[in-house]
């Protein structure tokens, strides 16, 4: 099973452009990342620039998309980074998150990735032909990973 561990650092929603994490914190995180890699569970990881450097494209029914550059003052929680891991179950994902040397006032949200098999359980997707189209894409992406 694949899970994303999403980092939500408190206060990052107001971080100025170019804000970088503390070098000591980065060193601890790199050690943790190496543990994930050595255990064979790490698929991908990235840190994100603050939302003040981001752009949002908002979609509303019946209207053209609206593009807004950051910062986004209405945001209360924003992503600071993520890990994508492959583990046997949610409990193992939680254990990996608990071991993370996260800074104070941060949250790691764990979300399971929707796999093609999840869609296969719903006959509506099968009837529409969506499953056949995306099964080939899913296999192609797996080979690239």
**Domain boundaries defined on the chain:** 2-113, 114-145
The CATH number of the domain covering residues in 2-113: 3.30.70.1060
Which string of DSSP letters, residue by residue, matches 55-83?
A: EEEE--TTS--EEEESP-TT-S----EEE
**CB contact at 8 A, 33 and 25:** no
- pLDDT tens-place string over residues 82-137: 999 999 999 999 999 999 999 888 999 999 998 877 776 666 666 666 666 666 66
**CB contact at 8 A, 36 and 42:** yes
**CB contact at 8 A, 86 and 5:** no
State which of 59-63, 70-74, 120-124 shows the largest mean pLDDT: 59-63
CA–CA gap between residue 42 and residue 84 (Å, rounded): 6
**Among 37-41, 72-76, 109-113, which is the least confidently predicted range?**
72-76
- pLDDT tens-place string over residues 44-58: 999 999 999 999 999
């Amino acid at each position: 099973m694949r899970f994303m561990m999403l980092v939500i650092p408190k206060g990052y929603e107001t971080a100025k452009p170019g804000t970088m994490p503390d070098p000591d914190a980065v060193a601890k995180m790199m050690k943790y990342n190496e543990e994930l890699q050595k255990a064979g569970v790490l698929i991908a990881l990235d840190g994100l620039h603050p939302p003040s450097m981001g752009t949002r494209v908002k979609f509303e029914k019946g209207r053209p998309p609206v593009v807004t550059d950051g910062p986004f003052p209405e945001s209360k929680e924003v992503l600071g980074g993520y890990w994508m891991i492959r583990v046997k179950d949610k409990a193992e994902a939680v254990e990996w998150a608990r071991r993370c040397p996260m800074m104070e006032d941060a949250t790691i949200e764990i979300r399971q990735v929707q796999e093609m098999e999840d869609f296969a359980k719903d006959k509506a997707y099968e009837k529409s032909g969506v499953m056949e189209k995306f099964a080939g894409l899913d296999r192609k992406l797996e080979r690239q990973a």
